Structures are given as C-alpha cells and as structure tokens.
Amino acid sequence: MKFRVEREVLAEAVTWVVRGLSNRPPVPVLAGVLMKADPEGTLTLSAFDYEISATVTVEADVSESGEVLVLGKLLADISRSLPAKPVDVSTEGSKVQLHCGSSRFSLIQMPVADYPTLPTAADASGSIAGDTFTQAVQQVAIAADRGDTLPILTGVRVEIDGEKIVLLATDRYRLAMRELTWTPDATDISHVALIPARTLSETAKALGSSGSIGISLGDSSRSDGLIGFEAGSRRSTTRLLDGEYPKVTSIFPSSSDSIAVVPTATLIEAVKRVSLVAERNTPIRLSFTDGQVSIEAGTGDDAQGSEALEATLSGPELEIAFNPSFLLEGLGALGTSYTRLAFTQPSRPAVLSGQKEIDGDSDESYRYVLMPVRFAG
C-alpha cells in the first residue's frame, strides 16, 4: 500500500474515527484504525469496538492499493503533530511508514485478519438539519443518567412518528424532552430507539457542522440492533440499548398554579454566584414573590449567600429548592432570552421552558422537568 494525503485531511479523518475507541479494548485489534487505500483515489479509515463504528472516506493520491491496521490513537497523535505538508504513507514489511517533511514514523501493523467485520447501516430513512439535531441532542442528553445502576436510563429515547421526532431522557431527578421535525423518506414512518446518551451526544457534536445529517433506522441484517448516522463522507453506527423505557411522560404536570418569568442569563449568573456557598448536594432556595425572585444558599453556622432578581409572577407566591447543578444545566440548555418556570406546589416537579420575550408565549418544543429538593424550614 502506498498513498499521499494532506496532513490536515489525515489528522481530521483519524481524529473522527478514533473518538470512541476505548483505552482498554476487550480485544487488542479494537484499538486499531483500519486504513484502506483504493486505486480510484480514496482513503477510507474505520474504527469499531462492537458498540460504535465510525468510517470516513477522504481523497488521496493512491499509488498502490491495500489495507492495513495500526494503533488508532497513536496515529491520531502523530498526524496532528506533523508539519503542514503532504503525508506519504507506505507499507514496508511488517511496518507502516509515515513521511512528512523531515518527520519519519514507523508503525507496527496489526493483524487485519483478526479485525471484526464492520456493521453496515441501511440506506438513510430521512434527514435533519445538522445544527437542529445537535442542539436537540445536547438539550436532552444532560438529563440522562450518568451511572450504571439502571443502564436503560443512560439512554436517550428517540420516538419517530412521520415528520415528528421526540427525544426524551431522565435520571429520575429531572426529565428533558425535545420535539422537532425532520424529513423522512416515508410519511408513515414509525420507529422507537433507545440510544446511549454519551454516544449520541458525541456523534451529534461531530456531525453537527454538516448541513444535513442522514439517519438510518436499523441495520440491513438486524433491523432492531443499530442506528446509523451519515453526513458527507462520515458514517457511524451505534448499537441500541435493549429494554423497555419507563413511561415517564406522566411526570409532566397537566396544569400549573404559579408561573414565573426571569431573564435567563441573569438567573444563570445569580445561581452560579449563590451556589458557591452551597456544599456538596446542598440545594439552593428560590423564593418567588410579586416582582422578584430571591435566591439563597447555606443555613445556620454554614457560609451563606443570597441575591434578588427581578421576575414576573402570576399565581401564588412560593418557595422551592433545587439541586443547583441540575438547575444550571436546564437553564443552560434553553437557549432563550427568558426562562419560564411553571409550578404546582413546592413539593411537586417544576417545568422550565424558554421564552423569547418577557410577555411572549412559551416555547414548548423543549421542556425540562426538575424535581425539587426538600429543605428544612
């Protein structure tokens, strides 16, 4: 095998495919990146760990076609550090030689025959704008469980019904739901998938700069095991989580007694400041009255902090407490100038949504439900 490729092209391609590789793969060859040079003038790089696959095809000047397997993260580190000159790659015995300017590297070939067959996603079932998809995933993935007690809660539930997509995630303390539209190939399409939140989030970030992302619902050989994503020359598959997701949409209150509207950026900064004195797992208290919200943390002999902000309130006054980290993550995901907080009572979940104007309508396409924390007094 022998080819030449631009350094930036190689570095970007390798970084893309190795992003999900484990530092401790179950099988040594899974630490590798498969490089396949085609005489038509393309170089395809692939990585796979039985759960996630990533493939990218780039242009290259191919003198001799061939296929080799080398350590992925080492190749990524080397390619990023090379000078901004063309990279010549060739095989020589059991080694892969990289020449770039005056830099020379020799990598050991890994056994290609031991490398597993890459999963093949079916044709795309539809497409969605890259920036819309990325924002939606980030808004919802923050609420997925980050532990391993209940693996099913580490996923994002994706429900597709025609042109409508609903993303849902919860860790039992908060719940995030985003509704959006896409362009399906068939208007009567219906599908439900549970995707690992971390993988979905990383995939969305990596593909989000593309104008459009193709989504493949299923696999050509096993329709319920994989979901695929494609943007430009980049393709990835993810194995789905198995199990029945709990019916958590009933957590959404059917009505609200009090509604407060607060400037989002101002509220975020105030919560950050006040929560500096909140010890680990200590809630902050929000007291809503007509015209303002008071934010407090700390009690008794502990360090204390407080701040008051302007806010509009319709309905009875109330005092409620939240985990500050969970509150900040929800506020940060809204992406709107104003935050609408809807309450029933201090012991019941609150619903956060966004508003463009202080007296405008709430944007219900994204809702973040936050369980309150009990506090003394």
* Vertex 345: Cα angle to 146 and 259 (nearest 5): 90
Q: What number of residues does the chain have?
A: 377
pLDDT digits (tens, 9 = 90+) for 77-89: 999 999 999 999 9
pLDDT at 218 over 90: no
Res. 306 pLDDT band, cuts 50 70 90: very high
pTM (predicted TM-score): 0.89
pLDDT in tens, 115-129: 999 988 778 899 999
Say which residue the tokens 């495919």 belong to.
17
What is the distance between the alpha carbons of residues 90 and 107, in angstroms, rounded to a whole number?
10
**Closest to 82 (Cα-Cα) out of 97, 71, 61, 98:** 98
Summarize pLDDT for 135-161 with one digit per residue, the tens: 999 999 999 999 888 899 999 999 999
The separation between CA 56 and the C-alpha centre of its own chain, rounded to angstroms, equals 20
Amino acid at 355: Q
Task: Determine how many CB atoms are found less than 10 A away from the CB of residue 251.
Answer: 17
Could you tell me if 368 and 334 are in contact, meaning their C-beta atoms sit under 8 angstroms apart? yes
Confidence (pLDDT) at 158? 96
Strand order in the sheet with 284-289: 305-310, 292-297, 284-289, 318-322
Q: What percent of the chain has pLDDT over 90?
A: 77
**The pair of three-digit structure tokens given for residue 354, joined into one six-digit string:** 């966004």
Q: Does residue 318 register a pLDDT over 60?
A: yes
As a whole number of angstroms, the distance between CA 110 and CA 30 comes to 10
Tokens representing 290 are 């007509």
Is 221's pLDDT higher than 70? Answer: no
Mean pLDDT in residue range 59-64: 96
Q: For residue 178, is pLDDT > 60?
A: yes
Token pair of 372, please?
A: 């309150």
**What's the Cα-to-Cα distance from 253 to each of 127, 197, 268, 326, 342, rounded to whole Å?**
32, 25, 24, 19, 9
| Per-position b or e across 156-176, b if 16+ CB within 10 A of its CB | bbbbbeeeebbbbbbbebbbb
Domains parsed from the chain with CATH numbers: 2-114 (3.10.150.10), 126-249 (3.10.150.10), 252-370 (3.10.150.10)
Mean pLDDT of 188-192: 93
Classify strands 312-314 and 362-370 as parallel, antiparallel or unpaired: unpaired
Q: At what angle do helices 197-207 and 130-141 cross, to 10 degrees?
A: 150
For 355, other C-beta atoms within 10 Å of its C-beta total 20
Q: Residue 243: which region, alpha, beta or left (left: phi > 0; alpha: psi -120 to 50)?
A: left
pLDDT of 376 reads 60
Answer with the residue of higher pLDDT: 345 or 292. Answer: 292
